[in-house]
Structure 1
Amino acid sequence: MGEQKRKENAKGDFIFGKKNYKWLFIGLAFIAVGFILMSGGGSDDPNVFNEGIFHWRRIRLAPTLVLIGFGIEVYAILLNPNKK
């Protein structure tokens, strides 16, 4: 009888809690914004060089946001949802 209760309890439990998913989505948003900020800067004419690819937003800000997002993802995975 005890084994059946454990199986029933184990079926309804999720690995992550609500808190973990909240942090996972926050980290995902940081990563998405970082990649969006990295995009662009191309030129329609291959003979014309566009200096926009060296803008501080693409070189400094966007990779920093992506790394912060990955850090938040690691935190969200390691976070204990049962601890208050």
Structure 2
Amino acid sequence: MGESKLKRERKNKHQNTFIFGQRNYKFMVIGLAIIALGFILMAGGGSDDPNVFNPEIFSWRRIRLAPSLILIGFAVEVYAILTSPKRN
């Protein structure tokens, strides 16, 4: 006839929960901020005149630092997704 009270409570409990916990979302936001910072640091370095070469495009910041920050940001995102949320 009907579901037992325990089954209904379990069903309602599972419907009202998020996949990730608050800690996961914090790490996701931190990872996105690191990735955005990497892309911001990578921008620029061009020249207004296409006939003039600007060696600033090959600076340490654009070649080493920015891609490293982007990879670190992706690693933080993977950690945020794979870590188990704390259940109360």
TM-score band w.r.t. shorter chain: over 0.9
Q: Deviations over 1:28-65 (max 9, x none)?
A: 11100000000111111111111110000000000000
How many residue pairs get matched? 83
Specify the alignment match of 2:79 in structure 1. Answer: 75
The RMSD of aligned alpha carbons is: 1.1
Q: Which amino acid aligns with 1:76?
A: A
TM-score, with structure 2 as normaliser: 0.89
Among residues 5, 8, 13, which one is paired with 1:4 in the alignment? 8
Query: Sequence identity, in percent?
Result: 64
Quick one: distance in 2 between partners of 1:46 and 1:33?
27
For structure 1, the 5+ residue unaligned runs are: none
Q: Which runs of 4+ in 1 moved over 3 A?
A: none
TM-score, with structure 1 as normaliser: 0.93
Matches within 5 A, 1:5-84: 5-82=9-86
